[in-house]
A and B are shown apart, each in its own frame.
Chain A
């Protein structure tokens, strides 16, 4: 039994390491500037991996070496101060080895570089919408209370910055390559989380406030957006696509998008045409009566 248990412990320790290296399941290929996050994870893997293997193999050895014999006594050693202090110091060093790089990268994560483009991601059950600042480079103010069918983003009518905002509903988000972007996040109903595995970055969308993260796309292509915060029955179907374009392609795409002004004009036109239709109907009726 002791041999068998020691063998299983050995397999667990070594097998876990082997699994790690041969497993086909690993990070999606990176498509943003957050390679440092991957590096921090690899550092953590090494430090913790060594500790894990050491502890399990030590235990396997003990099980094998100190198996019960009726004529033998266990050692009597209540404490060993020197050993305990030594282990504490080694552990502390290991922890610092993980924490220090982690905090350095986190510091980069929370500090948005100057001149980053701002875009807005808006979540609602269970779709993603996007808003770009338009020609003036400034996003208009919003309020959930402003939301109507003509103003799905709730943009403040009295804010001139909002008129040229580019609005994208039910379509892909495009981003230009190699330009840092600050992604402002907003929800109009429940919690959501904007998560693109290839970018590594993610952050919750919280109704009532605007959260953010930043990143620089480093690879063209289209990447899937997932919702990573449980948001109700349709959580798993709340998907989207972000397309990273070369600069020219991006500009071409941007030209084709509708602005808030277009929305307002369309709404106005619809109102007029409804009014005209009503007028036509009124004119038509007397004819029918004749």
Chain B
């Protein structure tokens, strides 16, 4: 038949490499614990990330209790408060979001969606997880050492990070740095796997421009991470030397409470450059997988192709590239040469263009769609709302002069939580509701899911939208308490109390979600294969959930892109990627026949 899809082609390129022989586990331990199956590793990564994420959630409650009701909680003092915010931020950004998107979703989806049997280096992939776990353990240990974990803020700026005026400047900071170093080593092992698998192990017919955007997002994010994490790595090593050996990479001649120290000649700003050379791409390491996944969720659940696929791919690549030349927009008021401001404001605002194009293409995908408001779709739409909101406030902070009054205020806190906290986490939720049946064979409970969605969406908007206005007033971030001051009216304290209550409610809804995830493994409704009628390869496996080796005897062959939904003339409203044009069932219905 005539296939209207622009990417469909009956031609199948010959196989360039032999099908690989996989490692066959010989015991329960090698199958489920020291597993080399990317799907098991993905679940290990995700469970660890969610477990440590739960710690971060509890820390956020403690921090909000202190901010909302400053006098009420004796058990939180200033030292503990700074430890709480530091660990909350570090866990969320590195140990939860990075690990979950790349180690979790990356491991599960890359081989399945590109049509590979597994990652190309399964053994290294296994090591990646165990080193990540070790990094998490070291982080947790830092809670229990004398002096407690570091309270230097998640940015760990020297000199204060290693001086006695900051909590945890004893063992806390050393363990923090050690944990980061381990994390980066572990991540590099996994990251090399993801990149090489995408480049080398795609199945026949899976050209780069036929890959689902989920894979594009994870692929580019992994490249960013491989290039950005080394900057943090050297920063962490150098600060470790400054702390333990008394070197002065980041330490100029200074006093510590009146006492002359032996340091001299180092530059605190050098650390900030290293940190943000990592830290800004890190935002996109979290955001790009979310961009990719949400594109697929919108397309599948609107039963419509993603609008402007090629533009979407190029936008991901361009955003990834630009993310390496904007880092110093985190440092406009750091005391660096102020002329940098012109350059970094310009590059930063240029990023708004490809990012806006992505937003337009998402909402244009909804236009004339056939929108099913499933839970993944609800989360995808909520993502667009929070991401647009958070992206827009980025235009405030990226525009150097506007950043001057707003930097280091609650506006910044509201901005980055909206754009790289709430928005990507909504995508994670959407993705979990979407792929849960693939992973477990069962659906998540829908009633609990809707409860979770509405509380999370409306609640987190109620937390972070008004928070920007505290920043406009000039309320600084990282303040244990505002104390006696004439700058802020009583209403600012009331707003803080409101935000705390909203945060506690949203936090509670996450416990319902966790319960749902565990409960549904046993009691969820059994899912039929490919419950969402999706086109991408992970849903076309011979058995669901897919087994070790993913695709049974024969690897699938790809004939089209992943977005053949509602193709005119086809009988079904979706055509899987592995269906050749000649095998597409034709519709008798004149309405859907080709014009």
Query: Is there contact, CB below 8 Å, between A208 and B407?
Result: no
Q: Indicate whether A160 reaches chain B with its CB closer than 8 angstroms.
A: no
| Number of residues on chain B facing chain A (CB within 8 A) | 115
Query: Which B residues are in CB contact (< 8 Å) with A102?
Result: 345, 399-402
Query: Is there contact, CB below 8 Å, between A95 and B339?
Result: no
| A interface footprint on B433-465 (CB within 8 Å = 1, 0 otherwise) | 000000000000000000000000110010001
- Residue among B307, B342, B402, B481 having the largest count of chain A Cβ atoms under 10 Å: B402
The residue from A51, A74, A232 contacting B573, defined by CB atoms under 8 A apart: A74
User: Contacts A41-B402, A102-B401, A206-B334 hold; do A16 and B465 have CB atoms under 8 A apart?
Assistant: yes
Bound CA–CA A49/B388 (angstroms): 10
Query: Is there contact, CB below 8 Å, between B363 and A58?
Result: yes
Q: Indicate whether B27 reaches chain A with its CB closer than 8 angstroms.
A: no
Main secondary structure of the interface of A (DSSP, over half): mixed
Bound CA–CA A60/B381 (angstroms): 10
Query: Is there contact, CB below 8 Å, between B78 and A236?
Result: yes
Query: Is there contact, CB below 8 Å, between A197 and B399?
Result: no
User: Contacts A40-B399, A69-B370, A206-B269 hold; do A62 and B357 have CB atoms under 8 A apart?
Assistant: no
| B interface footprint on A237-248 (CB within 8 Å = 1, 0 otherwise) | 101000000000
Q: Indicate whether B472 reaches chain A with its CB closer than 8 angstroms.
A: yes
Query: Is there contact, CB below 8 Å, between A95 and B350?
Result: yes
Name the residue of chain A whose CB is nearest to the CB of B591: A73
User: Contacts A25-B473, A231-B165 hold; do A103 and B373 have CB atoms under 8 A apart?
Assistant: no
User: Contacts A232-B163, A234-B78 hold; do A98 and B395 have CB atoms under 8 A apart?
Assistant: yes
Q: Indicate whether B245 reaches chain A with its CB closer than 8 angstroms.
A: no
Q: Indicate whether B51 reaches chain A with its CB closer than 8 angstroms.
A: no
Query: Which A residues are in CB contact (< 8 Å) with B307?
Result: 77-80
Q: Indicate whether B369 reaches chain A with its CB closer than 8 angstroms.
A: yes
* Selected interface stretch from A165-173, A185-193, A269-277: A185-193
Q: Indicate whether A203 reaches chain B with its CB closer than 8 angstroms.
A: yes
Query: Is there contact, CB below 8 Å, between B310 and A99?
Result: no
Query: Is there contact, CB below 8 Å, between A19 and B466?
Result: yes
Query: Which A residues are in CB contact (< 8 Å) with B474?
Result: 27-28, 195, 197, 226
Name the residue of chain B whose CB is nearest to the CB of A72: B370
Query: Is there contact, CB below 8 Å, between A73 and B566?
Result: yes
Query: Is there contact, CB below 8 Å, between A191 and B268?
Result: yes
Q: Indicate whether A230 reaches chain B with its CB closer than 8 angstroms.
A: yes
* Selected interface stretch from A84-92, A113-121, A128-136, A256-264: A84-92
| A interface footprint on B340-382 (CB within 8 Å = 1, 0 otherwise) | 0110011001101100110111011011111111000010010
Name the residue of chain B whose CB is nearest to the CB of A83: B364
User: Contacts A55-B384, A73-B592, A207-B268 hold; do A188 and B255 have CB atoms under 8 A apart?
Assistant: yes
Q: Indicate whether A5 reaches chain B with its CB closer than 8 angstroms.
A: yes
The residue from A16, A198, A201 contacting B404, defined by CB atoms under 8 A apart: A201
Closest Cβ–Cβ distance, residue B372 to chain A (whole Å): 4
Chain A residues 49-76 with CB under 8 Å of chain B are 49, 51-52, 55-56, 58-59, 62-63, 66-69, 72-76
Query: Is there contact, CB below 8 Å, between A185 and B165?
Result: no
| A interface footprint on B311-355 (CB within 8 Å = 1, 0 otherwise) | 100000000000000000000011100110110011001101100
Query: Is there contact, CB below 8 Å, between A224 and B486?
Result: yes
Chain B residues 383-406 with CB under 8 Å of chain A are 384-385, 388-389, 392-393, 395-396, 399-402, 404-405
Query: Which B residues are in CB contact (< 8 Å) with A288?
Result: none
Q: Indicate whether B309 reaches chain A with its CB closer than 8 angstroms.
A: yes
Closest Cβ–Cβ distance, residue B385 to chain A (whole Å): 6
Bound CA–CA A70/B316 (angstroms): 34
Closest Cβ–Cβ distance, residue A176 to chain B (whole Å): 22
Q: Indicate whether A289 reaches chain B with its CB closer than 8 angstroms.
A: no
Query: Is there contact, CB below 8 Å, between A25 and B163?
Result: no
Q: Indicate whether B257 reaches chain A with its CB closer than 8 angstroms.
A: yes
Bound CA–CA A144/B263 (angstroms): 11
Q: Indicate whether B160 reaches chain A with its CB closer than 8 angstroms.
A: yes
A-B contact pairs, 30 of them (CB 8 A): A5-B373, A8-B457, A9-B381, A25-B473, A27-B472, A27-B473, A28-B487, A44-B395, A55-B360, A58-B363, A58-B367, A68-B303, A68-B370, A68-B372, A74-B565, A74-B573, A75-B566, A91-B356, A102-B400, A103-B400, A106-B345, A147-B255, A190-B159, A191-B157, A193-B408, A201-B405, A204-B334, A207-B253, A209-B252, A209-B269
